[in-house]
Amino acid sequence: MACPKAEGCALYELFTSRALLGVWKTYYCLGQHENCERFKRSETGQEIDDTLLPNGQSLQPVKQR
């Protein structure tokens, strides 16, 4: 079952690579959304940092040279 909160999820805007986003979407958004840390926090009313990944880790910015 797809995640009911996927449509407004800020996660989608974090990735410039659609391939990388596709990995997260396949496993969490279209698969096991109940395991997504973003989903769990939204269900309990907790604040969700924009860089929070579904596995509970934070996306680290890429350092440009």
Burial 46-57 (b: 16+ CB within 10 A, else e): eebeeebbbeee
**pTM for this prediction:** 0.83
How far is CA 50 from its chain centroid?
Answer: 9
Query: pLDDT 10s digit of each residue in the chain, 65 long?
Result: 899 999 889 888 888 788 888 999 999 999 999 999 999 999 999 999 988 999 999 987 666 66
Encoded amino acid at 11, one letter: L
